[in-house]
Structure 1
Amino acid sequence: MTNILVFAPRSSAEPTPLAMTYRRIVRARSVVRGKTFVHTWWARRQLRAMLRKELLLQPDSVLEDAGFDRKQAEREAAKPFWVA
């Protein structure tokens, strides 16, 4: 199983939305052990959807730093949830 790591900036007093989402994933996994696979899968699906939406909102300079151009970002955001 792959672990998702999210690093929040140290200067920020409030956790980032991604850090809060990761905490929810961890909590969901630890609360119900019998349904861990389903909870983890659902949380990852939600996280991927959120990341794809946020990818479209980024300026071109940020996309370039991540190794994407605008067309690649749009293709990535258009992927269905079952495609990683």
Structure 2
Amino acid sequence: MGAEIIGATKIDLQAGERRLSERYASDSAVGVRLLLSEYHALQERQYQGDTDAIILLADLETAINTAGLTDRQRQALDLV
């Protein structure tokens, strides 16, 4: 009988996070534009328990807070 690995799973636990990271690529203008345009939908998914959406929104908030935006730039983001 072979050795068993405790806690091993064949389910890809990071598939959802990877899918969101690819869709909303932060290194491209298209990905950031798409993220901002679907921000409210991601917020809704967050309240439905979508942990990948929660992580993405937390990363976005961190990026915005560390970007050194002017008040006018922050206002523009709020209006998107």
Higher Rg:
2
TM norm structure 1: 0.31
Q: Which has the higher contact order (CA 8 A, sep 6+)?
A: 2
Q: Give the alignment's TM-score, normalised by structure 2.
A: 0.33
